[in-house]
Amino acid sequence: MTRIDASEKTSDTDTVKEDDPVTSLALVISRLTSLPVADVSAPSNVSETALDHDATQSNTAHHDRGVKSVDGFPSLTGHFLEKEYRNDIAAFCVRAGIDRQSFDKLFGLEQELRHQILPLWICTHALPDVDRAADCLQEMLDLVPEDNAIRASLLEIHASVLVDRSLISLDLNDLDLALASQFCACAIGTGVLRPLHLARLGLVYWHRFELTDDEDHLDASTSSYEEAASLCEGDLAVQQVVALGLCADAKFNKHRHLGRLQDLNEAISLARRALSYSFEDPTLRAACLTRLYASLRARYERLGDVADLTAAIFAAETAVELATARGPDKMEYLAQLGDAFRARFRLNHQRTDIDKAVSLSRQAIELATTLNSRSALVLSLLGSAYAQRSLAYQSFPDLNAAIMAHQAAVQGTPRGDRDVYVCMANLAQTLFSRYTLVHDPADLDEAIRFRKDVIASLPDTHFHKSQMLTELALELRERSSVKSSLRDEAIAAARLAAENVHSPASVRFTAARFWAFLAYSHLGPEGSMPAWKVGMSLISRVVWLGDAIQRRYVELPMVTAFVNTAVAAAISEGYYALAAEWFEEGRCVVWAQIHQLRSPLDDLRSSGETGHKLADELEQVSQELDRAGLQMSEDSALSVVSFTSNTSESRHQNRHGLARRHEELLDRARAIPGFSDFLRPKRLDALREAARLSPVVLMWVFEGGDGHSLVILGPQHRAPFIYISLPALTASLATKIRSLFLRTITSAGVRSRGAVNPRQNGGSDEMLRVLRTLWSHAVGPTLLKLTTLRVLRSPMETGKIPRITWCPGGTLSFLPFHAAGMYDPSRPDNLNAMDVVASSYTPSLATLLNAHRARRPPSPKVQVLVVSQPATPRQSRLPATLVEAKQAIGILGQDRTVWLNDAAATKSAVLDAIASHGWVHLACHGAQAKDPMQSAFYLYDGQLTLADIMQRSFTHTDLAILSACQTAAGDEALSDEVVHLAAGMLGAGFRGTVATLWSISDADAPVVMKELYERLAAWGLNSEDAANALHVAVTRLRNQVGERTFLRWLPFVHYGI
């Protein structure tokens, strides 16, 4: 199968050079606007299938596809009459119940309608022309008796014309007449035609819903389409395939207006079904492909799954190849393919993609024969391609050509056309783009005027309403620099966009973010609080359970930036409790979702019969959704077969359906008295339980601001928190510390276990600078305040060094707070954190809460799984892992240990053994992967990934000791998600983990592990003592190797309780 060559010419008229887009486009527009109507009124030679397809031809501008009811009217009548006229007229007249005179008159009227009236109406969209069409059809209907198949076709055309007239006149009487005609057609039509009649009945009901917002008409439309689809089973005739296509269009339009993802998924499924029966007819197949393209493209824009865009491009390419050389179909298929390449350019920024987008759209418009609704949309797409290229490569000729194309598209779209708002929105956007470059206020005023016209034309339920309001807010904000009163109008527009429940969550979140920043700068922190609250409430919908985990991680950086600023706003107003709650809500979002799906439902189950049933169903749905989310995304290597049978698509839709069902069940549960906060983000009173064993220090630095500590105190303390300002810890300093820290460990080459040479001491000066700065600017002031307030008590009083848990965010994530200090005996302030506290880390407060609530066997019954890999295939040897394993077994006793060594430690064996052991010791290679869920332990038969671990939900696990490399290294791009193996073990059900920030010396690990196990054994094998035991063990190693040999002792850390 060949592919489209973007440089291929399709018209001899394209003689203007590519680098002169304005002149070239001006010639095209001049040609289109100067052609007489007669040029488009010649009889068409397209097939029956093409006629039926034309009735549902897709408009491709911004993948917004409406159903065109008379552009190629939905009739087999003309073709049938011509065929009978050439063959046996007498026999036809007998069958149709008409005489020869009536046949001749019917045929003459049909020819006039087909070749004169309808083409003129298509070009002008003037009421007198559509009135002529309606009158002509009525004459034809008067000639044909009741209960005749020909009458059913005529009734459908009559209904179509009346619908289009109603869209101009807004006269509901026309829609009532259209419904009557279509009802009659349904009553007459039988067999393979009945699904087609029912689908078109649904279309009439849909138009009535659009004009009235009457839910009864929406229900009637849905019912008609569902009945039509149900009649399309088995081997389908052409008419049934067309009916399925109409049903796909209906679902697409329903999604466009109501924004429901399930409608879009159903549109894709219906388009695939239609496609599977269209192999024999290339015209029909191309029509099915373009429907599939539009739905896939829309879903890509909504969910951002690149596989959908890849599939959409393939569908569009195939449609172009199947289309005839010239004509409106080829024109639209080329245009939509160009727009697909434009979407890919926005993703990958490859110059070849945007050049293809322009070239294909130019080829498309060269095929237009007049300026009407279809060619206007193609012009609009060409304008968008030019605009995109102009912004990317600062090309003013492209930008001017874009405005010219959009202006022609607006002028060429007939009055009453449902898609005119697309052309107007594109024009507004391009005018605003030119304003940002040349600062001509006239461009901005025009952009605002067109944008307001678009918004006025869209109902609140429309899918694009919030997007248009957000763009208007941005434009008004720009204009407010001259007219300050417009700033309030901009804030109001952004607020409407953010609060519109019918628009996609991602669009609403963008609007909330803009509203918040605009209100913050204009009204101050207090005035912006409603915006921050709306944005925070949307996080779970932006990072959606219906997406695979890998996809959710893509959305997180945007969410993290919003949360950090929201927290800053709360802090600046003294809302410290709210700041803590928002900080928590924005951290480890994916981990929190996994925990929510695995949360016990005992309280709901014991609330009564209703709650018990809900709990059972919610538990089942949660388990299925948990498994579905952890499935790896598949690349979209598509073929013709994969369009109709695709496992990945089934997984997508199953996951989406489970997520919707999960949301519905949560809503029902929250309606039960006393359960209004069921599985919602917790308030500070509940979060305090996380600090029962030790204070938890939330610490962050705001962009352009300074640092803050918010210490959460357990319920044993009177105050819920202590706020500590860190003015010396500026954002710029924090960035420098982080960069120096990462550069130090990278240059040291500590990437795998055994990579650290026992005699290695490189980077000690740089690491010392990091640790001293952390101590003097962050850790020292925090610990001093807590000691002064007697939150931290001296070991002289308690017999044990006090413990603290660090939860740093943003730039501060993964920095070694536990080792901060001066490390200079000559200084009077020579203190370090390890002399003052035993440190733990936690991904979030919720992680600690879950650990506290987990039920574990008492210490005397602890069983320990020991895994060692001294000679993993294709990895460097680690002989000291045998020493570790034997030490652990010797200290703990063989009666409470199981040892999987070397070849016995396979992935399946280790996973199965973990499920039955409270403690697990893994001594092996480990690595942090670019895809966080592919971070792994290296076992004898391959990698045990974080995804493998997360697919298990362990109920008896307690402590994981990860004597491997980089098990707490994390992903720099997802710092607030804390995505590493140590956190993964907590997510899988362990209450605490011992891990490493980077690679460790094979000689050092046995030293630390021996002391760790000896301490734990001496203290009664209580996993809650692991942090203090590790503190003692690391202190011993530090004393042995020297405190400034940071690379050797510093990486050992504890997570959890």
Give 682's DSSP letter: P
Lowest mean pLDDT among 544-548, 572-576, 657-661: 544-548
Whole-number percent of the chain with pLDDT over 90: 50
pLDDT score for 1031? 97
Instruction: Identify which has the larger pLDDT, 759 or 953.
Output: 953
Exposure b/e, 101-128, CB count within 10 A at least 16 = b: ebbebbbebbebbbebbbbbbbbebeee
List 926's β-bridge partners, or say none: 937
Predicted confidence band of residue 62 (pLDDT cuts 50, 70, 90): very low
**With contact defined as beta carbons under 8 Å apart, do 532 and 566 qualify?**
yes
What is the phi/psi pair of residue 900, to 5°? -110, 110
The helix (run of H) or strand (run of E) holding residue 1000 is: none
Tokens of 363: 């080829």
pLDDT score for 43? 29
- Answer whether residue 280 shows pLDDT above 80: no
pLDDT score for 305? 86
Per-chain mean pLDDT for the chain: 85
Tokens of 482: 């001259």
Any residues with CB less than 8 A from the CB of 642 and at least 6 apart, and which? none
Query: How many other β-carbons are positioned within 10 Å of the β-carbon of residue 134?
Result: 18
The amino acid at residue 893 is G
Q: What is the CATH number of domain 855-1056?
A: 3.40.50.1460
Lowest mean pLDDT among 110-114, 672-676, 868-872: 110-114
Lowest mean pLDDT among 67-76, 322-331, 819-828, 941-950: 67-76
Q: Comparing C-alpha atoms, which of 269, 274, 266, 199 is closest to residue 236?
A: 274
pLDDT score for 48? 26
Mean pLDDT, rounded, for 970-989:
77
**With contact defined as beta carbons under 8 Å apart, do 429 and 437 qualify?**
no
Give 44's DSSP letter: P
Query: How many other β-carbons are positioned within 10 Å of the β-carbon of residue 91?
Result: 10
- Answer whether residue 641 shows pLDDT above 50: no
Model pTM score: 0.81
pLDDT score for 45? 29
Instruction: Identify which has the larger pLDDT, 865 or 206.
Output: 865
Tokens of 188: 């007459």
List 527's β-bridge partners, or say none: none
Query: What residue spans of 960-1025 are helical by DSSP H?
Result: 981-987, 1004-1018
Predicted confidence band of residue 890 (pLDDT cuts 50, 70, 90): very high
Any residues with CB less than 8 A from the CB of 828 and at least 6 apart, and which? none
- Answer whether residue 7 shows pLDDT above 50: no
Query: What residue spans of 35-117 are helical by DSSP H?
Result: 48-54, 77-86, 89-96, 100-112
Look at phi and psi of residue 97 and say left if phi exceeds 0, alpha if psi is from -120 to 50, else beta.
Answer: left
Instruction: Collapse the DSSP code of 717 into the 3-class scheme (helix H, G, I; strand E, B; otherwise coil) and give the result.
Output: coil
Give 37's DSSP letter: G
Predicted confidence band of residue 327 (pLDDT cuts 50, 70, 90): low
Q: Can you give the residue ranges of every domain in the chain?
A: 855-1056
The amino acid at residue 189 is G
Query: How many other β-carbons are positioned within 10 Å of the β-carbon of residue 799?
Result: 6
Query: What residue spans of 671-754 are helical by DSSP H?
Result: 684-687, 731-747
Any residues with CB less than 8 A from the CB of 355 and at least 6 apart, and which? 6, 389
Mean pLDDT, rounded, for 91-107:
80
- Answer whether residue 222 shows pLDDT above 60: yes
**First CA to last CA across the chain, in angstroms?**
60
**With contact defined as beta carbons under 8 Å apart, do 193 and 241 qualify?**
no
List 706's β-bridge partners, or say none: 730
pLDDT score for 793? 86
Query: How many other β-carbons are positioned within 10 Å of the β-carbon of residue 810?
Result: 24
- Answer whether residue 1000 shows pLDDT above 50: yes
pLDDT score for 757? 55
The amino acid at residue 906 is T
Mean pLDDT, rounded, for 177-192:
85
Predicted confidence band of residue 2 (pLDDT cuts 50, 70, 90): very low
**Calpha distance 329→283 (Å, rounded):** 9
Cα dihedral across residues 686, 691, 695, 698: positive or negative: negative
Side-by-side strand order, sheet with 942-945 = 925-927, 936-939, 942-945
**Calpha distance 913→865 (Å, rounded):** 7
pLDDT score for 571? 93
Give 891's DSSP letter: H
Mean pLDDT, rounded, for 157-182:
87
**Calpha distance 987→995 (Å, rounded):** 15
Query: What residue spans of 586-712 are helical by DSSP H?
Result: 589-597, 602-605, 609-630, 640-644, 647-670, 684-687
Tokens of 476: 């008004």
pLDDT score for 232? 85
pLDDT score for 972? 66
Cα dihedral across residues 189, 195, 198, 203: positive or negative: negative
Predicted confidence band of residue 1021 (pLDDT cuts 50, 70, 90): very high
pLDDT score for 37? 37
Mean pLDDT, rounded, for 460-475:
92
pLDDT tens, residue by residue, 677-695: 999 999 999 999 999 999 9
The helix (run of H) or strand (run of E) holding residue 331 is: helix 328-348
List 709's β-bridge partners, or say none: 699, 724
- Answer whether residue 569 shows pLDDT above 80: yes
